[in-house]
Amino acid sequence: MEKQVVRVGLMGLGTVGTGVVRLVKEHQEDLFNQTGLGIEIHKILVQNKTKPRGISDTYEDIAGIITDEPDDLLKNPEVDVIVEVMGGINPTKEYLLTALEQGKNVVTANKDLMALHGGEILRKATENSCDVFYEASVAGGIPILRALVEGFSSDRITKMMGIVNGTTNYILTKMSQEGADYADVLKEAQALGYAETDPTSDVEGLDAARKMAILSTLGFRMPMNLDEVNVKGISSVSKEDIAYGKKLGYEVKLLGIARCDDGEVEVSVQPTMVHKSHALSSINGVFNAVYVYGEAVGETMFYGPGAGELPTATAVVSDLVTTVKNMKLGVSGRGMVAPYKEKRLKPDSKKYSKIFLRLIAADKRGVLAQITQLMADKNISLDQVLQQPFGTSGQAEIIMVTHLAAKSDVDEVMMLLRDLDIIHEIKSCYRVEGGE
């Protein structure tokens, strides 16, 4: 007899896992109408079986299917699909490889794992004719991975820019709009379930870097390694930088930037001054957005909640629906296209952007001329300058935005500026996007 119900082994019953249970339970009829099969949560793996869980009060059957024994899912012949929302690299990677060896399809929200070991996991899936989908790993509820793989399959993507970490966008928005304190807002983001267990990976940009590695691998169709993404987080962003940025028409955003020019690629994550004329400058709170430029289509934007229980669960359960449809059609594991383009990393001399610089200098005749001459010698010219007295000891605060400059030239200028007597301190330096 043909299968009537697909049985899911759910790994993790935290923020996302709880959302997955809710959606599967509450959307049964819709899920059946779309797949023609029932979807049942058969077993749930957790770390601590005795932990009280609100979801067990709503659904009485949940308590009876919770286990702390991984093989109750992985080696259980009744389980068809593993939905992994427990996070981490170990033991999660081994669990997923075992699941695939057992012929079980996999849905995961785990960007850490997919950014580091995605290649190995996808190869194992192909060997075993299984699906692995990971839509929730990037930008929570926004279906951006499916858009890149399917929606842009006829186009060539040359640029992607993303606000892909909800925690840092929440922090920067509160700092910008309410003058809130960094540490206080980080605590709020943790309480709301946006931040990672160790929020260092959010604030230091690593979470966004993992997502940009996944986006650029799929978007540019070339295998991008996490250690090829240049990363800087937001812990050094000050209220002063945000205020001066605003004065000149910019909002500070933690931006993932991926560019592919003439087959050469650069990917970075860094706090960036985004000009108010660019749609990404108005993405606030925990919302995420990904800007994608395709040679044929031009500019596109994807916007939505990047974290949280139900938004993330929608992406997970949508992957589950696709998995079940593929099982029904007998095409599991056949839809994946491995990155097929040769990767060439762009040298710093070809990485162009505008730069925002804030420095403290001696307030005397000729200082600005000396700085601009030093920049001109390295092919850098200025677009905007703001100068005002700083403190009471004959110093000036100078804020400059350059025209497009090569990263190699900017790095040299920064070294030379540090050696100049008239420069007392370089307060900050940001990449600038938008406003061309």
Catalytic residues: 211
Q: Which of 207, 241, 319, 433 binds ligand HSE (CB under 6 A)?
A: 207
Burial of 264 (0-12, 13-18, 19+ CB in 10 A): middle
Asked if residue 151 binds ligand NAP (CB under 6 A), the reply is no
- Bridge partners, 229 (sequence order): 267
Q: Who's near 421: CB < 8 A, 6+ residues apart?
A: 362
Interaction of residue 204 with ligand HSE, rule CB under 6 A: no
Residue 62 site contact among ligand NAP, ligand HSE, none (CB < 5 to 8 Å, cut-off depends on kind): none
Contact indicator for 242, 267 with CB cutoff of 8 Å: no
Q: Among residues 101, 140, 83, which one has the least CA distance to residue 307?
A: 140
- Is 166 one of the binding residues for ligand HSE (CB under 6 A)? yes
| Helices and strands (H and E) in the chain: how many | 16, 18
Q: Which is nearer to ligand NAP, 133 or 194 (by Cβ)? A: 194
| Nearer residue to ligand NAP within complex by CB, 70 or 294 | 70
Q: How many residues bind ligand HSE (CB under 6 A)?
A: 11
Closer residue to ligand NAP in complex, CB, 17/143:
17
Q: Cis check for the bond before 339: say yes or no (omega within 30 of 0).
A: no
Pure H helices in 286-331: 309-329
Pairing between β-strand 423-433 and β-strand 382-390 as defined by DSSP bridges: unpaired
**Distance between CA atoms of 72 and 76, rounded to whole angstroms?**
6
Site mask for ligand HSE (CB under 6 A), range 211-250, x = bound? ----------------------------------------
Q: How far apart are CA 181 and CA 171, in angstroms?
A: 9
Report the distance separating Cα 392 and Cα 242, nearest Å. Answer: 23
| Element (DSSP H or E) covering residue 251 | strand 250-261
Contact yes or no for 355/426 (Cβ under 8 A): no
CB of 387 to ligand NAP, least distance (A): 43
Q: Rule CB under 6 A: is residue 319 a binding residue for ligand HSE? A: no
Q: How far is the CB of 197 from ligand NAP (least distance, A)?
A: 6
87 binds, among ligand NAP, ligand HSE, none (CB under 5 to 8 A by kind): ligand NAP
Q: List the x/- string, 291-330, binding to ligand NAP by CB under 6 A.
A: ----------------xx---x------------------
**SS3 assignment, position 381:** coil
By CB under 6 A, tell whether 85 contacts ligand NAP: yes
Q: Which of 76, 110, 167, 318 binds ligand HSE (CB under 6 A)?
A: 167
**In this complex, which beta carbon is closest to ligand NAP, that of residue 109 or of residue 213?**
109
The helix or strand, by DSSP H or E, that contains position 40, with its residue range, turns out to be: strand 38-45
- Pick the closer one to ligand HSE by CB: 306 or 333: 306
At residue 394, the 3 state secondary structure works out as coil
- Decide: is 46 part of the binding site for ligand NAP (CB under 6 A): yes
Residue choice 83, 237, 267, 307 for contact with ligand HSE (CB under 6 A): 307
* Interface positions, 146-165, toward ligand HSE (CB under 6 A): 165
Strand partners of residue 261: 264
245 binds ligand NAP (CB under 6 A): no
Residue span binding ligand HSE (CB under 6 A) among the ranges 20-28, 120-128, 191-199, 289-297: 191-199
Distance between CA atoms of 421 and 404, rounded to whole angstroms? Answer: 27
Name the binder of 85 from ligand NAP, ligand HSE, none, CB < 5-8 A by kind. ligand NAP
For the CB of residue 90, give the shortest distance to ligand NAP in the complex, in Å: 8
**Interface pattern 164-193 for ligand NAP (x via CB under 6 A):** -----------------------------x
Q: Where are the beta strands (DSSP E) in 262-391?
A: 264-275, 287-294, 298-305, 344-345, 352-362, 382-390
Q: Which residues are at the interface with ligand NAP (CB under 6 A)?
A: 12-17, 45-48, 51, 85-88, 91, 109-111, 136, 140, 193-194, 197, 307-308, 312
Q: Which residues are at the interface with ligand HSE (CB under 6 A)?
A: 140, 165-167, 194-196, 202, 207, 306-307
